[in-house]
Amino acid sequence: MERFVVWSTDHRAPEPADVDRALVRSWVSEATRSGLAPATIRRRLSVLRRYFAWAVTVGILDSEPSLGVPTPRGARRLPRIVRPIELDQLLEPRTGRPPLWEARDLAIVELLYGSGLRVAELCDARVVDVDLASERIDVTGKGGKSRRLPLTAPAVERIASWLAARTDALRESPWLFVNHRGGCLGPRDVRRVLTTRLDSPIHPHLLRHTFATHLLDGGADLRVVQELLGHADVATTQVYTHVSAQRLRSVFESTHPRA
């Protein structure tokens, strides 16, 4: 706030009543040109707006001059994907683990990566939602929207192994993936499963990012990827085209002799 007061005074607006929307716009533009991070500008503009709102409330100003001033947007961060070495670690069977829970964990990894499920969709999945003979699973996504997804051959194998390994007590549970008590897993449980298989923390959503990116790398149509992910708007899916292009550029620069 103090910075703005100094700046506005230098621009012949020493009093709150002297500040208008054009001046606030000019301040934001100058801050942007100076290289100030968009997040910092947004934070300072938020403070300024709170002050002007207070000034209107107590009668110092008749109207708020910062209304309608656009907030600068930062560069959109591309989603990170799981590196090949990390994917190998996640999918590699581990020794020393109880076979029952190792079978469950491998099925979880194969399903998240192979079908691109949201972690909530995986946690809500029931045994009756899976048709191993038809290699598909029915999931319910955001807004209660259902969709049918194909299963990869490794996912079918791992899920079959997990269902066959379940004890009689666990078979009574309707949930596809259960904890030691037979209750359905939560997102934190799934994240814990993945993190214990790696040397560093990992979020289940990274496997969904990796699923989409690998499909596009392989030439999949964007609309198909949209349907598989359950995105209502294709614009949400388009971020993965940037990831894919970035990966292709990286491979090109590291392998082509004249890159």
Q: Which of 104, 118, 158, 197 is catalytic?
A: 118
Instruction: Return d(Cα 151, Cα 96) in angstroms, integer.
Output: 28
Is 240 a catalytic site residue?
A: yes
Q: Is 214 a catalytic residue?
A: no
Q: SS3 string of the chain?
A: CHHHHHHHHHCCCCCHHHCCHHHHHHHHHHHHHCCCCHHHHHHHHHHHHHHHHHHHHCCCCCCCCCCCCCCCCCCCCCCCCCCHHHHHHHHCCCCCCCHHHHHHHHHHHHHHHHHCCCHHHHHHCEHHHEECCCCEEEEECHHHCEEEEECCHHHHHHHHHHHHHCCHHHHCCCECCECCCCCECCHHHHHHHHHCCCCCCCCCHHHHHHHHHHHHHCCCCHHHHHHHHCCCCHHHHCHHHHHHHHHHHHHHHHHCCCC
Task: Pick the catalytic residue from 3, 43, 50, 142.
Answer: 142
Question: Which is the catalytic residue, given 158, 208, 209, 214?
Answer: 208
* Residue among 98, 164, 97 nearest 130 (CA): 164
Active-site annotation holds for 208: yes
Catalytic residue among 25, 231, 242, 247: 231
Residue 94 annotated to the active site? no
Instruction: Quote the distance between the C-alpha of residue 11 and its chain's center.
Output: 43
Is residue 205 part of the annotated active site? The answer reads yes
Q: Which of 136, 166, 205, 247 is catalytic?
A: 205
Active site includes 209?
no
Active site residues: 118, 142, 205, 208, 231, 240
